[in-house]
Structure 1
Amino acid sequence: MQKKTAILSQNDASKTHKQRLHWLLGFSSIPLFGIVAAFAIAPQTLPVDVPSTEITEAIALPAPLASTTDATIDGHALWQVDRVRRDDTLASLLERINIHNPEAIAFLHQAPEASALASQLRPGRTILTKTTPDGVLLELQFQIDVNHALVVKKSADGYQAQELPLALENRVLVKSAEIRSSLFAATDDANIPDQIAIQLANIFSSEIDFNLDLRKGDRFTVTYEARFSTGELIKTGRVLSTEFINQGKAYSAILYRDPQGRENYYTREGKSLQKAFLRSPLEFSRISSGFTLARFHPILNTWRAHKGVDYAAPTGTLVKAVADATVSFVGGQGGYGNVVMLQHAGNISTVYGHLSRFAPGLHKGQRIAQGEAIGFVGMTGMATGPHLHYEFRVRGEHRDPLKVALPTSVPLSSGLLADFQQQARPFIAQLDLLRDSNLASME
């Protein structure tokens, strides 16, 4: 799903060979920061193609290893780059990459120190080999995981194998996308990893209800960390800054690390986005029944008040505490089925009903942090399908969870605010530039 971007800057085949070796094994580290922005993303369900522009800034980025067999001659040896295929066995892989001498084949099959090659044959992983023209293995380098490579070399005493750190290049990526149907559809179309989409939902969870508030035409920009190996994305890190325009209103978030090493997200003005209460106890679902004083009950077949919100979601979906709290009740209770009740500061309590099961070890009197798992969606009690029944009470009185004003968090002190503004300045300038670019591309 990731787009591969590279700038070739080699002068001859020898230099290409050296750069590939160093890149794969970590014998030399090439610091690099690239910025990629994708605009006007069209979802797969739309028949009309929406123009997409990608902008890249990079400094002498080495060429990635080829996705198919790529061979170069180094003196009398053949360097070859390949990738593990879905139907590969160790035998078929060795045959394809020109390893034919029995000594090497036996070593790669039988030596315990080389066993990672056979046990980690995952489709897409890279293997680099150096062989003689008649198929004698001289050297092999295989990506075991995101952090390590297996290196096999021929010596006068036979073959030796060892695991070495894999060099990872740190980059900062910037991408933009437009909502056409859902957050995940937009991030998929923009080649933004799911981990980043989940972070976005968590960052703005107290400002935007991603179950209810998204509209077609909403758009966002996100800057995030990424680590690459052989020109491919290996893993993603934290969101560094983002702006989400929802129903015409702009919400921004910038990651700030204070002098004590604590990290949190703040608006451009330095207001914390970690509100005292999350707007929703689920990351993604849909509203199946809202807060109302007159609803026809599907089981009791009578009109009665529905003093909460029902979130339809698959059985087993994680349910989290919307704020720091103490568990006041956990167990079965009539129509609620398996239910958790939490007591928060300020005479506020929340209720989570119809759970399939509780978080392991959850008990009355336990202190729970905001976002901590308390249970899993189910259909226990009076329920016609899997969903979460969620209530918000103030001094025992039911309030509509979708409309109640949520308490705010404590702002930065004056000293920390100045430090935040210094750290945030380049991110704010970048967000402003990308917002203008987005608007220009849509006009």
Structure 2
Amino acid sequence: MQPSEPSYNPNGNNPGGLPNTKPRSFKQRILAQNPATQLRKLRLRWLLVLSSIPLFGIYTAFGIAPQTITQDIPISTVIEQVALPQLDEALSTAQNDETFWQADQVRRDDTLASLMTRLNIRNQEAIDFLRRDPDASALASQLRPGRSIQAQTTDSGELLQLQYQTDNKSIFKVERSDSGYQAKMLDASFVTHSVLKSAEIKSSLFGATDAAGIPDQIAIQMADIFSSYIDFHTDLRRGDRFVVVYEAVYNNGELVRTGQVLAAEFTNQGKTYNAVMYRNPEGQVSYYTPDGKNLHKSFLRSPLEFSRISSGFSLGRLHPILNTIRAHKGTDFAAPIGTGVKAPADGTVAFVGVQNGYGNVIILQHQNGISTKYGHLSRFAQGLHKGMKVSQSDVIGYVGMTGLATGPHLHYEFMVNGENRDPLKVALPSAIPIDQKYKADFSTHSANLAAQLRLLSASNMAALE
């Protein structure tokens, strides 16, 4: 008897008394499956597929919509005649009926012709009337920058109505009638309201006011009000905040113009400044702190409302044209040609004319041995002459680039007893505080405006938090 082959039992037992066999590969086991077993598995798979078909039918039915009738639905076509208008006639009627109101403001360099162009006034009859009629022709001489003007025209540029605010009490009106154009002066029903706004500096003062819907004129006023404490050329920082209360004048519900700043609070680099406007019984307007301290110094820090410093005070600067090292005894403010230059304080005109490389020059003499100089001007204020007295903020000339200048700017010098000082660093004396005889009236007026500022400032802070 031959010895049997060694048995193989991977589990260490022998279930059912079956003899152990050698392990086979996975492929061998697959090939060795019983054909009957494979047939049973195939039948099972088909059974599963067939049993799933009703489920897909249910899903599809719900995907269509519950209780939807899926039988054939009869379809019929209805034809109806629709009369269409002639295209040319429709367009002509629409254009004849369509009118437009356009509102604008008079600009500094405006003429009657430029205004009519912007207001879309193109019919010759209206143009001739505005130029030649005795009542209407006065309009050209009464154009003032900042004043409102509105015109109603057709699409073809035919003037129907024109309204212009000539002053605080009157409106000039031109209207077309069956007999032609007529001009008349009307009493204006102006109503003044106080407007409260707040904003945060993210890039610039004008950027903040634009984002908050505050007119540029109010931004310029704020820069002037706080100019003795904040240098708006260099001191502004991202995150600075301000609140402002200002006048807005309306006529028949339409905004006509903005008035004066009534109160303002400006936080610059963590320090807060407050200002309230006070008009004394004599009609003089000044801005004070809530306790009556005059915000303006006796000198404005800058003779321009708003500009950029292009060159500072220096005892040794390379001259951009002469290419030599020489002292720059003033500050250059870059600004467009024609920008108004203001007197920083009351004074007397000591010189007006042409002077060396400075081109057109003005020199003002002030109190306490102080004098100021203005160079490279394009022109002088009308009627300005030597010996003439000027008041603080009066426009004395206009920015230019006469003399030795590489671009339009104002050269500004500040001298004390003939010695040049840095205009941006010299100490400026404070102006006179509120007169004692107006103190009680001012305190009542100031308390009301200060309360409005606190309310708006608190609301603004709560919104930021």
TM-score (norm 1): 0.65
TM-aligned CA deviation for residue 322 of structure 1:
0.9
The correspondence for 1:84, drawn from 85, 95, 101, is 101
Equivalence for 1:442: 464
TM-aligned CA deviation for residue 416 of structure 1:
1.7
Equivalence for 1:94: none
The correspondence for 1:200, drawn from 222, 229, 241, is 222
Equivalence for 1:263: 285
Q: Which has the higher contact order (CA 8 A, sep 6+)?
A: 1
Equivalence for 1:340: 362
- Aligned letter for 1:409? A
Q: 2 CA distance for matches of 1:256 and 1:213?
A: 27
Equivalence for 1:145: 164
Query: Identity of counterpart residues, as a percentage?
Result: 55
TM-aligned CA deviation for residue 166 of structure 1:
4.6
Equivalence for 2:300: 278
Unmatched 5+ residue regions in structure 2?
A: 1-96, 103-118, 125-132, 141-147, 154-159, 166-170
Change in Cα spacing, 1:82 to 1:245, as seen in structure 2 (3 Å) is: farther
1:181–1:216 CA contact under 8 A, matched in 2: yes
Query: What secondary structure is seen at the aligned counterpart in 1 of 2:298?
Result: coil
Bigger-Rg structure (1/2) = 2
2:149–2:163 CA contact under 8 A, matched in 1: no
Equivalence for 2:211: 189
TM-aligned CA deviation for residue 260 of structure 1:
2.8
Change in Cα spacing, 1:374 to 1:425, as seen in structure 2 (3 Å) is: same
Q: 1 CA distance for matches of 2:348 and 2:251?
A: 45
- Aligned letter for 2:278? Y
Q: 1 CA distance for matches of 2:161 and 2:448?
A: 39
Q: 2 CA distance for matches of 1:350 and 1:435?
A: 39
- Aligned letter for 1:317? T
Equivalence for 2:18: none
Q: Which has the higher helix share?
A: 2
Query: What secondary structure is seen at the aligned counterpart in 2 of 1:408?
Result: coil
Moved more, 306-315 or 213-222: 213-222
Equivalence for 1:416: 438
The correspondence for 1:365, drawn from 346, 368, 387, is 387
Equivalence for 2:236: 214
The C-alpha deviation readout for 1:146-174, integer Å capped at 9, x for no partner, is: 436678999xxx99988554533332111
Query: What secondary structure is seen at the aligned counterpart in 1 of 2:265?
Result: strand
Equivalence for 2:262: 240
Length, aligned pairs only: 325
TM-aligned CA deviation for residue 242 of structure 1:
1.2
The correspondence for 1:223, drawn from 245, 248, 273, is 245
2:299–2:345 CA contact under 8 A, matched in 1: yes
1:149–1:165 CA contact under 8 A, matched in 2: no
- Aligned letter for 1:309? T
The C-alpha deviation readout for 1:288-337, integer Å capped at 9, x for no partner, is: 11112221221222222212111111222211111111111222221222
- Aligned letter for 2:367? A
The correspondence for 2:407, drawn from 377, 385, 395, is 385
- Aligned letter for 1:200? M
Q: 2 CA distance for matches of 1:296 and 1:162?
A: 61
- Aligned letter for 2:313? F
The C-alpha deviation readout for 1:65-92, integer Å capped at 9, x for no partner, is: xxxxxxxxxxxxxxx997426768789x
Q: 2 CA distance for matches of 1:240 and 1:272?
A: 15
The C-alpha deviation readout for 1:236-292, integer Å capped at 9, x for no partner, is: 222111112222222222111223332221111111223210000111211111112
Query: What secondary structure is seen at the aligned counterpart in 2 of 1:237?
Result: strand
Change in Cα spacing, 1:262 to 1:81, as seen in structure 2 (3 Å) is: farther
Are residues 1:175 and 2:197 paired?
Answer: yes
- Aligned letter for 1:340? I
Equivalence for 1:138: none
Q: 2 CA distance for matches of 1:87 and 1:161?
A: 19
Equivalence for 1:304: 326
The correspondence for 1:331, drawn from 329, 353, 359, is 353
Change in Cα spacing, 1:151 to 1:89, as seen in structure 2 (3 Å) is: closer
Q: 1 CA distance for matches of 2:297 and 2:213?
A: 30
- Aligned letter for 1:299? I
Q: 2 CA distance for matches of 1:250 and 1:381?
A: 42
Unmatched 5+ residue regions in structure 1?
A: 1-79, 92-111, 128-140
Q: 1 CA distance for matches of 2:303 and 2:270?
A: 25
Equivalence for 1:375: 397
Are residues 1:315 and 2:337 paired?
Answer: yes
1:328–1:343 CA contact under 8 A, matched in 2: yes
- Aligned letter for 1:324? D
Change in Cα spacing, 1:401 to 1:89, as seen in structure 2 (3 Å) is: closer
- Aligned letter for 1:375? G
2:375–2:410 CA contact under 8 A, matched in 1: yes
Equivalence for 1:287: 309
Query: What secondary structure is seen at the aligned counterpart in 2 of 1:145?
Result: strand
Equivalence for 2:92: none
TM-score (norm 2): 0.62
Change in Cα spacing, 1:400 to 1:152, as seen in structure 2 (3 Å) is: closer
Q: 2 CA distance for matches of 1:123 and 1:369?
A: 31
Change in Cα spacing, 1:281 to 1:153, as seen in structure 2 (3 Å) is: closer
Equivalence for 2:4: none
The correspondence for 1:430, drawn from 445, 448, 452, is 452
- Aligned letter for 1:207? Y
The correspondence for 2:272, drawn from 250, 254, 258, is 250
Q: Which has the higher strand share?
A: 1
TM-aligned CA deviation for residue 421 of structure 1:
0.7
Q: 2 CA distance for matches of 1:424 and 1:368?
A: 30
Change in Cα spacing, 1:392 to 1:89, as seen in structure 2 (3 Å) is: closer
1:341–1:349 CA contact under 8 A, matched in 2: yes
Q: 2 CA distance for matches of 1:349 and 1:159?
A: 59
- Aligned letter for 2:279? R
Change in Cα spacing, 1:126 to 1:167, as seen in structure 2 (3 Å) is: farther
1:114–1:150 CA contact under 8 A, matched in 2: no
Equivalence for 2:428: 406
Q: 1 CA distance for matches of 2:397 and 2:451?
A: 41
